[in-house]
Amino acid sequence: MEKLGKNIASRVRTLLTPTAETLGYAIWDVEYVKEGAEMVLRITIDKPEGITIDDCETMHRAIDPILDEADPIENAYRLEVSSPGLERELSRPEHFASAIGESVEVRLFAPLDGRRTVTGALVAADDTCITVEENGENVTLPKTAVAKVKTLFDWTDI
Q: What is the dihedral of CA 31, 65, 85, 27, to 10 degrees?
A: 70
CA separation for the pair 144, 45 (Å, rounded): 27
Q: What is the pLDDT of residue 1?
A: 46
pLDDT digits (tens, 9 = 90+) for 82-126: 999 889 999 999 999 999 999 999 999 999 888 899 999 999 999
Q: What is the largest CA-CA distance in the chain?
A: 53
- Listed in sequence order, the residues at least 6 apart from 149 whose beta carbon sits closer than 8 Å to its beta carbon are 89, 90, 91, 96, 104, 105, 106, 107, 130
Q: Is the pLDDT of residue 4 over 60?
A: no
Residue 117 contacts residue 147 (beta carbons within 8 Å): no
The model's pTM is 0.80
Q: Residue 101 has what DSSP assignment?
A: T
Q: Is the pLDDT of residue 2 over 80?
A: no
- H/E element holding 66? helix 53-70
Residue 126 contacts residue 109 (beta carbons within 8 Å): no
pLDDT digits (tens, 9 = 90+) for 16-73: 999 999 999 999 999 999 999 999 999 999 999 999 999 999 999 999 999 999 999 9
Residue 40 contacts residue 33 (beta carbons within 8 Å): yes
